[in-house]
Amino acid sequence: MADFWKRFKRNRGAVIGLAILLAVVLIAVFAPLLFPQSPWKMVQRPFLPPFAMDRFPLGTDTLGRNVIAGLAYGARVSLLVGLISTLVSLLIGIPIGALAGYFGGRVDDALMRFTEFFQTVPNFALAIVLVAIFEPSVQSIVGAIAIVSWPPVARLVRGEVLSLRSREYVEAAILSGQTSITIIWRQILPNTLSPIIVLASLMVATAILLESSLSFLGLGDPNLMSWGYMIGAARTVIRQAWWLSFFPGLAIVLTVLALNLIGEGLNDALNPRLSRKGK
Residues that bind other proteins (CB under 8 A): 117, 119-126, 128-130, 132-135, 205, 209, 212-213, 216-219, 228, 231, 235, 238-239, 242, 245-246, 249, 252-254, 256-257, 260-261, 278-279
In one-letter notation, the amino acid at residue 150 is: W
Nearer to other proteins, 24 or 184 (CB): 24
Nearer to other proteins, 224 or 244 (CB): 244
The CB-of-204 to other proteins minimum distance in angstroms stands at 12
Between vectors from CA 53 to CA 47 and to CA 54, what angle results, nearest 5°?
135
Which residues make Cβ contacts (< 8 Å) with residue 81, sequence separation at least 6? Answer: 138, 141, 142, 145, 207, 208, 211
What does the alpha-carbon distance between residue 99 and residue 111 come to, in Å, rounded to a whole number? 8
The CB-of-273 to other proteins minimum distance in angstroms stands at 16
CA nearest neighbour of 82 among 194, 212, 198: 212
The CB-of-67 to other proteins minimum distance in angstroms stands at 15
Nearer to other proteins, 154 or 209 (CB): 209
Residues 174, 176, 177, 181: is their CA dihedral positive or negative?
Answer: negative
The CB-of-56 to other proteins minimum distance in angstroms stands at 21
Nearer to other proteins, 31 or 130 (CB): 130
Nearer to other proteins, 53 or 121 (CB): 121
Q: Judge whether 93 and 146 are in contact, CB under 8 Å.
A: no
Which residues make Cβ contacts (< 8 Å) with residue 137, sequence separation at least 6? Answer: 221
The CB-of-171 to other proteins minimum distance in angstroms stands at 32
